[in-house]
Amino acid sequence: MSSLQVARRIVAAYGSERFLTNLKLNLLTYWCQIETLRETGEPLFADAIAVGECGPIETDVWDEYAPFGSRMIRQRDEWQESALDESAERIIAHVVDTLGALTAIDLLEMSCADDGAWRCAKDRGSATVDVDDILVSADMRRTVPSRTLAGCVDKVTREYPNALRLLENS
């Protein structure tokens, strides 16, 4: 399986309900890899994960969705990806359910933590984040952070229901 198949499946299954940008899609694909390694010890996809300037990047995914820039990815017919095996579908659903509401910035912070695989690979000057980097990193134990931009907006929305509406109309 390739990272592009995973990303296409995320877009096909969740693109209409989640705000997916190229960066967010790349990071969700990265976390699918981590979640599979947590559960099975084996990678979900064989593609190399590049050490990008700001975070981990699946190059094929990045290139495929580059025309969208930071705009929301819209599903195209040619990106219809048939269902993957049951295990991969379960992993993708779990990652999107737990991390999909986070912003790209929240995901980037998680992915670039000082004790994470990307930081380790970047610090040693590697061009890729290897499976071994992930297996020994804190990413294998990382959970959704309690303080995120998405969480703060949700809290404000709950506690001050009219605040965002007032800002919207000002």
Greater pLDDT, 167 or 93: 93
Residue 153 lies in a domain: no
Residues 6-19: pLDDT tens digits?
999 899 888 878 88
Q: Return the pLDDT at 36.
A: 95
Greater pLDDT, 141 or 166: 141
Residue 169 lies in a domain: no
CB 121 within 8 A of CB 129: yes
Determine phi and psi for 106, rounding to 5 degrees. Answer: -60, -45
Residue 17 lies in a domain: yes
Residues 30-82: pLDDT tens digits?
999 999 999 999 999 999 999 999 999 999 999 999 998 888 887 665 556 67
Classify residue 32 as left (phi > 0), alpha (psi -120 to 50) or beta. alpha
Average model confidence (pLDDT) across the chain: 86
Q: Return the pLDDT at 116.
A: 93
Provide the domain limits for residue 100.
3-142
Q: Which 8-state DSSP code applies to residue 29?
A: H
Residues 6 or more apart in contact with residue 45 via CB below 8 angstroms: 1, 2, 3, 5, 6, 29, 33, 58
Residue 148 lies in a domain: no
Under the banding of pLDDT at 50, 70 and 90, the label for residue 3 is very high
Residue 166 lies in a domain: no
Percent of the chain past pLDDT 70, that is, above it, reads: 83
Q: Is 150 helix (H, G, I), strand (E, B) or coil?
A: helix
Number of domains the chain contains: 1
The pTM for the full model equals 0.83
Q: Return the pLDDT at 17.
A: 82
Greater pLDDT, 156 or 116: 116
Whether the predicted pLDDT of 166 surpasses 80:
no
Residue 168 lies in a domain: no
Residue 115 lies in a domain: yes
Residue 117 lies in a domain: yes
Q: Which 8-state DSSP code applies to residue 47?
A: S
Greater pLDDT, 160 or 100: 100
